[in-house]
Structure 1
Amino acid sequence: MPAFDTVVVTGAAGGMGTAVVADLLSRGYAVAALDLPPNDPWRDRTPTEDTTGALSEIARGTASGRLSYRGCSVSDGADVARALDEIAATMPPLLGLVNGAGTLETGPALETSDEQWRRVMDVNATGVFLVSRETLRVMVAQCNHDPSNRRGIVTISSNSAVVPRAQMAAYAASKAAATHYTTSLGLESARYGVRANVVAPGTTMTNMVMGMWDGEDRSAQMVVGDPQAYKTGIPLGRVGRPADVTGVVGFLLGESARHMTLQVLTVDGGAAQH
């Protein structure tokens, strides 16, 4: 195995997560997949694929023993540290991290409960902090400085981090926090040869989005936009697909992006227009 060829992926059992895992395996990486343990009370409230089914199918098709799965709550610091220690002890050295775990709560800001706010922040912001910190800790222990700058952290955020979204205040705030944390971390991780970048998708056809749409396909409405909700349309004329995002994630972890860090790449068909 080449050095630094393991990538940690959080939220690996979700629609976007399984797509990221499959893409990274196709590029030859080993993947340490993390998602909620089966007994987590939030699993039923989080629109993910079946963990064993989705990831096992990927493993049978492409992994050749390069895929491992661990139940891990990204908002639990002890759980995250334990998972990263196990990965460091059992898998090839770390090349990268994809912060893909996420959750969504929608509704008027005045009706957002304390619990909803904490949950969104715990997963989308604190989770990025905890997993990034522990991954960087392992990377530094394995190789204090990599002059090739091959190692990298990629956070999957959202275009709502920079564009206000009605009915999504908590989510947008959590993604803004995750985005700015990642780029700020990159200033400090650079001394170790570790890059830190962000991918900011717009509306993308995943289980989480379909859950927000109550199972209906509202792609046409998303393309046109909704002035009453202060939401612009999508100039490129379609809702995104996971593959639109995974290709950018793979690029940022690859050789061609070795001189890129602190960047936010928006993948939304032009919806943000910023």
Structure 2
Amino acid sequence: MGSLSGTVALVTGASSGIGEAAALSLAARGAAVALAARRADRLDALADRIRAGGGVALAVEADVTDRAEAAAAVQRTVAELGRLDTLVNNAGVMLLGPVVDAPVEEWQRMISVNVMGLMYCAHAALPHLLAAAADGPRKVADMVNVSSVAGRVARNGSGVYNATKHAVGAFSEALRQEVTGRYVRVSLVEPGAVETELAGHNRPEILDTIRQRFADMERLQADDIADTITYIVTRPRHVAVNELLVRPTQQQA
């Protein structure tokens, strides 16, 4: 894969899972990496790990559902690391269950994080990504929006999660059309079942159902999706990977 030396990446949801793995992968390719999430202790530990490997890292405690905090995370990245070439919009939450008698607060949380948080970060980052594409070392910039197979396939029991991830897909494609002529690439990554903390926030009865569904499946690892993200952003300037669906080999739907 190509070098990202001289570039700066901001990764949201960087305190664990795909975000943590993506930050490590991008740093290994030479990018300076800003790490955004709510759990400051985990961000500090990850930043120390990147620095110990010779990389540059900045921990930014932020809740992307707060528009001001999302914008401040972008501004701090640019102020302290000098620019912004890559945004990995990874922060997300998955709260499954039937629509009938659902706790509506779970819906509100998913929409706040998966849709509005992603849009807030995108909005704040776009001027800097456009500037990087115009005069940066690679003459191209990237926004990678992490969706899900749930953004393609609706399933009984995940209706609102499906809705949020379909929204991410629609937003990403419209934005891609808007800015691709200016060499800002907008890419959608749709992971299938990945072994991360994502499912752990569900109610116990829902978590049991999820565990049963994937009990005999060799799930993807966070590094698998980080590798996918790194592949996308290291393509030559004239190559844009618009969308990648990545499932475990055993996952049928």
Shift in CA distance, 174/91, structure 1 to aligned 2, threshold 3 Å: same
**Aligned partners of 1:213, 1:59: CA distance in 2, in Å?**
34
Tell me whether 1:248 sits opposite 2:228 in the alignment.
Answer: yes
Q: What does the per-residue CA deviation read over 1:197-247, in whole Å, with 9 as the maximum and x for residues that have no partner?
A: 11100010001235559688x7784276xxxxxxxxxxxx62111111111
Cα shift at 1:136: 0.8
Q: What does the per-residue CA deviation read over 1:8-30, in whole Å, with 9 as the maximum and x for residues that have no partner?
A: 10000022211111111111111
Shift in CA distance, 243/140, structure 1 to aligned 2, threshold 3 Å: same
Structure 2: which 5+ residue stretches go unaligned?
none
Match of 1:229? none
Shift in CA distance, 241/122, structure 1 to aligned 2, threshold 3 Å: same
CA contact (8 A) 2:191 2:225 kept: yes
Cα shift at 1:37: 5.6
**Aligned partners of 1:194, 1:93: CA distance in 2, in Å?**
14
**Aligned partners of 2:44, 2:75: CA distance in 1, in Å?**
26
User: 2:148 is matched by which residue type in structure 1?
Assistant: S
Secondary structure of the structure 2 residue equivalent to 1:109 = coil
- Please, what TM-score do these two structures have when normalized by structure 2? 0.86
**RMSD over aligned Cα, in angstroms?**
2.9
Match of 2:46? 55
Written as runs of structure 1 = structure 2, the 5 A alignment for 1:201-216 is 201-210=191-200, 212=202
Cα shift at 1:150: 2.5
User: 2:97 is matched by which residue type in structure 1?
Assistant: G
**Aligned partners of 2:137, 2:28: CA distance in 1, in Å?**
26
Paired positions, count: 248
CA contact (8 A) 1:146 1:193 kept: no
Secondary structure of the structure 1 residue equivalent to 2:53 = helix
Shift in CA distance, 74/239, structure 1 to aligned 2, threshold 3 Å: same
**Aligned partners of 2:157, 2:182: CA distance in 1, in Å?**
40
Tell me whether 1:187 sits opposite 2:193 in the alignment.
Answer: no
Identity, % of aligned positions:
24
**Aligned partners of 2:197, 2:11: CA distance in 1, in Å?**
18
- Please, what TM-score do these two structures have when normalized by structure 1? 0.79
